[in-house]
Structure 1
Amino acid sequence: MKSGAILGAMGALALAAAPAAAQSLAKPPIPKSNQAQWVDIMGASQEMQDRLVGQRLVIAFTLAVGPHGRPTECTHEGEGALGAEFGALTCTQVMRRARFTPATDDVGNPVDGRWSGRAVWCYGDSCF
């Protein structure tokens, strides 16, 4: 039986804030929840999990975060077909689970912002 090691992300979901380029933000969006709980290998099909065994896959993603603190869009980068599949899964899970204190403008009003991060996917022995 394979261990269901949650993403390296669960141990190493390296996430970093990236302010929106189009407007002056006093503060970028700030995650309200534990980013390690945003992604979970158990959301992948058994076939995807099997293809990931022995590998570590890094998916870079960027979220557009609305003034209400919820993601409104997600883009991702990953190499090859496996990267595309896990990138889509990353965005699906992060869009559903991530919540933020919204970005604010110079006056303190909630505004649209951007937040970037990386999910490190692994399964089985590649996680340790």
Structure 2
Amino acid sequence: MFRFLISKFFALIITISPVDADEKTSLLSELQVSMQRHIDSQLINGAIHSLDLETGELSLFYPIETHSMVMAIDDDFILCTDLATLDGTKVPLDLYVTRTDDGFRVYQTEINNREPLEQLVKANRVERIR
């Protein structure tokens, strides 16, 4: 009887795992497309402009080909990638994303400000998906 239960357990894992893997791959693809669309929509002459409201300094950030990291926070996601300054310095870009009826939408953007994400990680509020 024990062997029967073990074999059923492994059969169940085998039948569930590919579906979960396909769903995760699909989710990651949708999130990646949403991130790229958002970044593209923010570009002005190839750069994302960011104004420091305290100093009045305008910074330009350029998309670069890098890894992306995806984390879940409750029902939302945090997508992380890198941008580069004109001199080539890499800076983090964190996009906070939620699911809507027609896909995913970015509701908060942090450029070169990793502190909010670090606080969420320290508080064990996020789970890394990729």
Tell me, yes or no, whether TM beats 0.5: no
TM-score (norm 2): 0.31
TM-score (norm 1): 0.31
When Rg is computed on C-alpha atoms for both structures, the one with the higher figure is: 2
Q: Which structure dedicates a bigger proportion of its chain to helix?
A: 2
